Amino acid sequence: MELYVFNTERELLGVVEAYEYLQWTRKYSECGSFSLRAIADTNNLNLLRMGHILWKSDDLEAGIIEHIELNEELQETITVSGCFLTGLLGRRIIWQTEILQGNLSTGIAQLLANNALTPTDADRTIPGLAFSSVTFNYTLNMQVSYKNLLTTIGDLCRAHDVGLRTVFNPQSKLFTVTLYEGRLTSSVFSREFENLTEQSYIHSTHDYASTALIGGEGEGSERVMAIAGTGSGLDRYETFVDAKALRINDFGEEYETALLLHGESRLKELNMVQSFDAVLHEHGNLKYKEDFDLGDIVTVIAKRWGVSMQTRITEIEETYDSEGRHIDVVFGRGALTLAQKLKEK
């Protein structure tokens, strides 16, 4: 694996020949991140500058340097970190009200076109950015305004279990935002199969909701309401979804459908947490990027814990250090982060 560096014009500058530590975190429906620590010699100081692009030769995605630290203890070191190229979408907001009606792919294409690819204000264009995706026929019927572009697209992808990434082509210098879906594989992960060295399991209803009361336009008894989801007795977990921003004039006879889709999307975000975090055995029977990869659906078994689940790989963290490569994998959907909880409140 080679670690190439490109400047802000996407021209190749060179290769990081030696480094102490690299963490490369890939995420399925979110933007990934990286952190690199190296000796602060002349070559690395020239290569590792703000805005420069790091690209691993064995990966489709690349990272952009957003943070630099220089330290001197026993020796001078430079540490750089940042997000993958999908993070560029986080530099834009949804500038005006967008009404999304149609399939998921068309809706995301609309958001990107109006706010990053071909916006009315040319100053808002992200140069060298493109969008390409197969069609995902998940229906959208919603309205969104002034939110962060990356957050909005990421939320849509998570709600419909679709992958999001930005592919870097060094030859064309193009950044292409893509939607994708992982494979359904026959791979099985288990301590009993000796392909896991560490494991932890979470099953939680802390942030779970099964039934949503959705409030649309109006006040008091005149407010338009809808109900999404099911459940009864102890299996019913209720939540309220404020959808007052959705306007009847924008949706007409489809207004109730728009409210229901909004509520169903929220329930997907508040699905029951069931996640399995594990460290892979580097010399196990399953090969990374051959038998399994980010987004793939696999089977995880922990016999002693009575756990057996067919689930998607939602995050892979690659770590490179003096001992070689280590891979940590997250299966399934993890618990809501503090930032997400604060956003919901």
pLDDT, one tens digit per residue, over 182-203 is 999 999 999 888 898 888 888 8
Query: Would you state the CATH architecture of domain 184-205+272-344?
Result: Beta Barrel (2.40)
pLDDT, one tens digit per residue, over 147-179 is 999 999 999 999 899 999 999 999 999 999 999
**pLDDT-wise least confident of 57-71, 115-129, 228-242, 302-316:** 302-316
In contact, 4 and 58? CB cutoff 8 Å:
no
pTM comes to 0.85
CATH topology of domain 88-180: Phage tail protein beta-alpha-beta fold (3.55.50)
Bridge partners (DSSP) of residue 273 are 204
Domain boundaries, the chain: 3-84, 88-180, 184-205+272-344, 211-269
pLDDT over 70 (residue 292): yes
Separation CA 224–CA 180 (nearest Å): 36
pLDDT value at position 334?
56
267 vs 111, higher pLDDT: 111
pLDDT value at position 130?
98
∠ CA 108-343-99, nearest 5°, is 30
pLDDT value at position 345?
36
Separation CA 33–CA 204 (nearest Å): 27
Tokens of 58: 């064995």
Strands 184-190 and 297-302: parallel
Sequence letter at residue 266: R
Could you count the other beta carbons within 10 Å of the beta carbon of residue 308? Answer: 12
